[in-house]
Amino acid sequence: MSGASGTDVFPQYLSRLQAAFFFAYFQYDGEVKNTLYTLVIEALQALGVENQKFTIEHPTNLAFGDYSTNAGIISKKPQELADYLDAHKPTEIEKIEVKNGFINFYLSKEFFKKSITEIIEQGNQFGRNESVNGEKVIVEHTDPNPFKPFHIGHLMPNVVGSTLARIYEWNGAEVKQACYQGDVGIHVAKAIWGLLHGETENAYPVGNKAFEESEESKAEIKEINKKIYDRSDEKINELYDQGRKASLDYFDSIYTKLGTKFDYFFFESETAGVGKEIVESHPEIFEKSEGAIVFHAENHDKSLHTRVFINSEGLPTYETKELGLAKVKAEKYPYTKSIVVTGNEIVDYFKVLLQAMKLIYPDLREKTVHISHGMLRLPTGKMSSRTGDVITFEELLEQVKEKIAEKGDLAQEEVAIGAIKYMILRSNIGSDIVFDIEKSVSTEGDSGVYLQYSYARTNSLLEKASAKGGALDTNSQGPALAREMHPLEKLLYRFPEVVERAQTEHAPNLITTFLTELAGSFSNLYASEQIISDSPESPYLIAVTKAFNTVMKNGLTILGIPAPEKM
RNA sequence: GUUCCCGUAGUUCAAUGGAUAGAACAGAGCUCUUCUAAGGCUUUAAUGUAGGUUCGAUUCCUACCGGGAACACCA
């Protein structure tokens, strides 16, 4: 997504002063990295290389150092460049080498030791930064429909949306979470039809089936739909009010389990009217066609298509309600950014909607970002909420808990929630997730359990250490010893960078991947070294354990995965 | 048919245009008299096809093959 002009591209002709200004925007990308940028620019100038673009990044493999630049390849003078850099290297850099044309920088043991100390000092604040300080963000997600079950398809937007909200928070934004619920519309009419025919639990699926299979029922349901809008029928009003409340209470209980806290609840019943007014007051944008009011988006952008905003019954469709919602949101909370999380099957609808918004209120459109997630699919195909053939969230949770009970008896619900969330957060937001309870919800290996287990282990270690009076001490001999640094010590300081990138790329999976790598690294250290011992190095290893414990806890907090103290 | 998204080990997922394509599960083999074996160690195994751009392509472009989604009154 990001163009060629990011942090990785730096015109060599800028002065140092300009460079300092330029870097002000990237101050959380790592101080050392910025120092290296400036240094490489200087080196290129010294070698008389004109106007070259280069990158500085963490190599994929620690064997290639902690930072690496391709400036040598591009300038075709790797050795000369490396020599200059070596002569002017900052104190944090211990060694510079040329390999395959790349110039690799190795951080000093002193740097890592200091980073461990800083992590411990910052504690539950470590990882927070101010890269989007001042932004007021509203994240809308989950959006279940009252009168319908909360099924596993709702988990995707919930987990993705609430995690994005926390990521923005950790990057310094003020964040509100919003849930938008369709308490009016044909689906509600279907459920009411079911209720009128004596159904309770299955009111919606029964009504839906009737709608599909019988013209007569279809007409009745459409009639009910109108009556819901104008509240003209007392019996329907009563069923509606009771059903709506029961449904919302049920959602609340699920949000509690998932750890989601919404600041605002919006309802279609309050956005429908607003949206309809907007549409009707813009005849220059919306046209009448076949009894409905439509928007010919393809007139503005060839890749878009026409959509109905007000149907021939005079009722607003989703598009119109969403148009109203944008305004309602802005009135309630003057946001600088509005993120809407939905399934990717509606990306094309949303593009049309954004085009309409652009014409009506361009300022709000500029602030709106649509993020779409993939589908949660069963091995047999797509799940449907229309047929009633769905797995509800609670059914899923029970099944996962059963599976976990085979392994241990502590923290079962926390582990189950963690396993489910991890499964969603480990892959790209946009990609589909094939959901097989046996295979997907793993309790070993690459899983939420793995992170939780490594965390619980460190708690137990730290407890034992403190009981033994073995205080952690980053100034003990650790890095001073001749041994190689363990990879864990070389990774921990990168956490804030990962948190920042997760925000700029809207990619929670970067955090998941990072934490899993850390946990693997810790497990390896744990297996190969005695952390608590009489060795002079022990206090330092305890400090590393504490730093890992801190980062893991903060990372799990961002992901919304419970961090059980024991398991 | 048009538009959009996606094709990576047997499977489920990673990989800001970079170096030796990482994990996990499954398979083969080790590992608890020692801090939690839900762990660790070793090992087999992958970029759909054909071109192009580039010093360098899983990544960008084109075509094809294969999968998914959307395409007027449901969201």
The gap between A190 CA and B40 C1' (Å) is 56
Strand partners, A338: A138, A368
Query: Which residues 6+ apart lie within 8 Å of A419 measured at CB?
Result: A400, A404, A441, A442, A443, A447, A448, A449
Task: Name the DSSP letter for residue A392.
Answer: B
Lookup: nucleotide whose C1' is closest to A440 CA: B12
E strands, A470-520, where? Answer: none
Q: What is the pLDDT of residue A48?
A: 87
Query: Which residues 6+ apart lie within 8 Å of A58 measured at CB?
Result: A66, A67, A68, A494
Specify which residue's alpha carbon is closest to the C1' of nucleotide B24.
A446
CA dist A424 and A416 (Å) reads 13
Question: What element of type H or E holds A98?
Answer: strand A93-99
Q: What's the maximum distance between 2 C-alpha atoms anywhere in chain A?
A: 86
The gap between A165 CA and B27 C1' (Å) is 42
pLDDT in tens, A349-393: 999 999 999 999 999 999 999 999 998 876 554 444 434 467 888
Q: What is the pLDDT of residue A535?
A: 85
Strand B: which of residues 524-553 in chain A lie with Cβ below 7 A? 524, 526-533
Q: What is the pLDDT of residue A7?
A: 35
Proximity of residue A68 CB to strand B below 7 A: yes
pLDDT in tens, A303-316: 899 999 999 989 89
Specify which residue's alpha carbon is closest to the C1' of nucleotide B54.
A74
Lookup: nucleotide whose C1' is closest to A404 CA: B38
CA dist A25 and A353 (Å) reads 33
CA dist A145 and A384 (Å) reads 14
CA distances from A63 to A36, A121, A376 (A): 19, 29, 38
Proximity of residue A273 CB to strand B below 7 A: no
Strand B: which of residues 211-270 in chain A lie with Cβ below 7 A? none
CA dist A255 and A261 (Å) reads 7
Q: Inter-axis angle of helices A347-360 and A318-332, to 10 degrees?
A: 60
Query: Which residues 6+ apart lie within 8 Å of A363 measured at CB?
Result: none
CA A359, A360, A364, A369 torsion: positive or negative? Answer: negative
CA dist A284 and A281 (Å) reads 9
pLDDT tens per residue, chain A (567 residues)?
333 333 333 333 344 444 443 433 333 456 899 899 999 999 999 998 877 789 999 999 999 999 999 999 999 999 999 999 999 999 999 999 999 999 999 999 989 989 999 999 999 999 999 999 999 999 999 999 999 889 888 999 999 999 999 999 999 999 999 999 989 888 899 999 999 999 888 888 889 888 888 889 999 999 999 899 889 999 999 999 999 999 999 999 999 999 999 999 999 989 999 999 999 999 999 999 999 999 999 999 888 999 999 999 898 998 999 999 999 999 999 999 999 999 999 999 999 999 999 999 999 999 999 999 998 876 554 444 434 467 888 888 988 898 888 887 788 899 999 999 999 999 999 998 877 776 667 778 899 999 999 999 999 999 999 888 766 777 666 655 666 789 999 999 999 999 999 999 999 999 999 999 999 999 999 999 999 988 888 889 999 999 999 999 999 999 999 999 998
CA dist A380 and A382 (Å) reads 7
**Nucleotides in B strand less than 7 A from protein CB:** 3-6, 11-16, 18-20, 23-25, 34-36, 38-41, 55, 68-75
* Closest to A89 (Cα-Cα) out of A77, A103, A99: A103
Instruction: State the pTM of this model.
Output: 0.92
CA dist A339 and A367 (Å) reads 8
* Closest to A504 (Cα-Cα) out of A228, A168, A201, A218: A168
